[in-house]
Amino acid sequence: MLLDTASLYFRAFFGVPDSVTSPRGEPVNAVRGLLDFIARLVGDYSPTHLACCWDEDWRPQWRVDLLPSYKAHRVVEEVTGDPDVEEVPDPLQVQVPVILEVLEALGIAVVGAAGYEADDVIGTLATDAGMPVDVVTGDRDLFQLVDDASGVRVLYTARGVGRHEQVTDEWVVGKYSVLPSQYADFATLRGDSSDGLPGVAGVGEKTAASLLLRYGDLDAVRAAAADADSELAPAPRRKIREAAAYLDVAPQVVAVVRDLDLGATDLTLPRTPADRGAFDALTERWGLGSSADRVLAALGG
């Protein structure tokens, strides 16, 4: 089980009342919400391995260099030589270090890679994992990893962790009329405002899906647009050709990296906390109460 950790703690922050505080009155709704999510997911799916995948760089410079609009609307401060500062509510920002401390005390692996997003870590760990993989996220970008043959599915939390959907090949085809292997090309054509991905002007979901259904992938679509003898209609032909500069770079931005060197990390799900004393101290200090009890019970099986 691979967790898109930021996706989950953002959801916890906005879904758990801000009246949930520590004994000193500090916000802990994201901390407790994330622990509750982990407890529920582990309890429901009984994974043998678990990784909290981390954004070491939520907006990698190499992606920005290719497409400057990438996530630009979320930037509150540009930082030379370091990741830009993302727009994150202050009451959430102060909880992130606590989340890391709690995960460390539990012994749950936190996996990141300098210069890359959690999506890329997930893509790497999900590829050739040698076992079935559940990716837990509210991010549609990761639908490109779904592969029934390899046992990779997405537990899609857009409607909430308790109401998540199990995304399989059939689900993606039913929802978007493309295969998961075509999803990255589909997203490139359609665009995604949440990531600052403009897409091809005038090409929406239906047109993007129909083009990929007919031609198979983006390269073939572009080849048809360039071929005067192809049967591609004039309107989509013109739109694809006019978007050439965007289409030259966007596929590299959208594609999840699958071959990072993450080193040797033990992702085995801990059955007891790695440091029970530290976990108990954190539970008392931050008032984690029943959330701590639930995650311990889930880990213990």
**CA angle centred on 59, ends 207 and 244, rounded to 5°:** 35
**294 has pLDDT over 70:** yes
Q: What percent of the chain has pLDDT over 90?
A: 90
How far, in Å, CA of 297 to CA of 272, rounded?
9
The answer to whether residues 254 and 187 touch, using CB atoms and an 8 Å cutoff, is: yes
Structure tokens at 292: 């701590």
Q: Could you report the per-residue pLDDT of 229-265, keeping only the tens digit for each?
A: 999 999 999 999 999 999 999 999 999 999 999 998 8
**222 has pLDDT over 80:** yes
Kind and range of the H or E run holding 112: none
Plot region of 245 (φ>0 → left; ψ -120 to 50 → alpha; else → beta)? alpha
**87 has pLDDT over 70:** no
How far, in Å, CA of 74 to CA of 208, rounded?
26
For residue 186, give the 3-state DSSP assignment.
Answer: helix
Q: How confident is the model at residue 88 (pLDDT cuts 50, 70, 90)?
A: confident
In DSSP terms, 52 is beta-bridged to 3, 110
pTM above 0.85, yes or no: yes
pLDDT (0 to 100) of residue 78 = 62
Chain centroid to Cα 253, Å, comes to 14
pLDDT (0 to 100) of residue 194 = 85
Q: What is the largest CA-CA distance in the chain?
A: 72
**Mean pLDDT, the chain, whole residue set:** 94
Q: Could you report the per-residue pLDDT of 46-76, keeping only the tens digit for each?
A: 999 999 999 999 899 999 999 999 988 776 5
Q: Could you report the per-residue pLDDT of 194-208, keeping only the tens digit for each?
A: 889 999 999 999 999
Average pLDDT over residues 224-230: 95
Q: Could you report the per-residue pLDDT of 110-153, keeping only the tens digit for each?
A: 999 999 999 999 999 999 899 999 999 999 999 999 999 999 99
Plot region of 67 (φ>0 → left; ψ -120 to 50 → alpha; else → beta)? beta
